Structure 1
Amino acid sequence: MGKVIILFGVSGCGKSLVGKKLSKDLEFKFVEGDDLHSNENIEKMNNNIPLSDNDREIWIKDINTELNRLENKNVVVACSALKEAYRQALVKRVVGDIYWFCLKGTFELIKQRLDSREDHFFKSDLLDSQFKIIEYPDYCKFIDISESPDIIVEKIKSEL
């Protein structure tokens, strides 16, 4: 039985950067949710079209398939998982200790990060659509993203 650490939150909150650092520190596998988006989803986001629940359903299933393939491995996952239904589908049939961390920051800070980010399909024009639909569960640990990525990684490690 492995550990599954899920970093979730709106786009631009640092899931990928923190996830890569955390997985390296812990010597865990890293699953990057962005890498599993379909070409159609990427095209929509490139054109500033928010994804629908149907668009996300296949993507979440693909991440879930990867997690189940890595059964008994220690894994860090970076995935927006904005709604409770997505989070439940994400961990369907996943065996292991699951740790949920919501990377949370202000709209202004995250928009600034998105505006300075290059070569990514998600643009800051879509950020408002994610803030409107995100559901914050009571079972996760909230991590303030105003700190440096290294400090965020240490905070997460201290919660394991």
Structure 2
Amino acid sequence: MTREPGPVVVMGVSASGKSTIGERLADRLGVPFVDADDVHPTANVEKMRAGIPLDDADRRPWLDRVGEVLAGSARPGIVVACSSLRRAYRDRILEAAPATRFVHLDLSREELAARAGARPDHFMPPTLLASQLATLELPAGDEPALVVDASAPIDEVVEAAAAWVAGGGDGEAGGRPRA
């Protein structure tokens, strides 16, 4: 059964393709797209630009803002690209927007490093990739999440995510399905 898309977070570490997949997924679903990088406090961006990893205290106000964006969408759906690396971060988002579903973009360390190195103008330097991978907690089976192999062609990743969202993000979702 197809239903309204609701709030969706495209998640993963830096360089996993969150913005690219998020924009395409939002277009496919006919809903707005927001990049959570755009709602980071300036201090967070400057810290990352300096090569300093964010800590939980840095992330709290940012995650609260992401939750507000997801909960406050006037449309029946929205897609937000947000790293959402730890379960506690996803839980914080879910407190504000309980209907949110997560699409985790999964890639090898090598592919992530290659992608990060190919975008020299991004404020998040490739040197922070290791800290992001150390922080990452894969979605657990009881979370509303789909794990997608992000090394697949973009159109395949988007279609897998769109089909899961359109199906209500249910069914196999509790078992961390891999698309």
Q: Scaled by the length of structure 1, what TM-score is found?
A: 0.93
How much is the aligned-residue C-alpha RMSD, in angstroms? 1.5
Instruction: Judge conservation of contact 2:31–2:75 (CA < 8 Å) in 1.
Output: no
- 1:45–1:119 distance in 2 versus 1, CA, 3 Å: same
| Distance in 1 separating the partners of 2:75 and 2:5 | 5
User: How many positions carry a matched residue from both structures?
Assistant: 159
Please name the residue that 2:69 is paired with.
66
- Whether 2:10 is the aligned partner of 1:10: answer no
Gaps (5+ residues) in structure 2? 166-179
Select between 63-72 and 26-35 the one with higher mean Cα deviation.
Answer: 63-72
Stretches of 4+ moved more than 3 A in 1? none
What is the CA distance between 1:118 and its match in structure 2? 3.4
Q: Is the 8 A contact 1:30 1:75 kept in 2?
A: yes
Alignment correspondent of 1:115: 117
Match of 1:105 in 2: 107
**3-state SS of 2:95 partner:** coil
Q: Write out per-residue CA displacement over residues 19-54 of structure 1, whole angstroms, 9 at most, x where no aligned residue.
A: 001101111111211101111111111111000000
Give, in whole Å, the separation in 2 of the partners of 1:157 and 1:144.
14
Calculate percent identity across the aligned residue pairs: 33
Unaligned runs of 5+ in 1: none
Q: Please give the TM-score of this superposition, normalised by the length of structure 2.
A: 0.83
- The answer to which structure, 1 or 2, has the higher relative contact order (CA under 8 A, 6+ apart) is 1
Separation in 2, partners of 1:25, 1:17: 12
Give the CA deviation at 1:71. 5.3
Is residue 129 from structure 1 mapped to residue 134 from structure 2 by the alignment? no
- 1:101 partner SS: strand
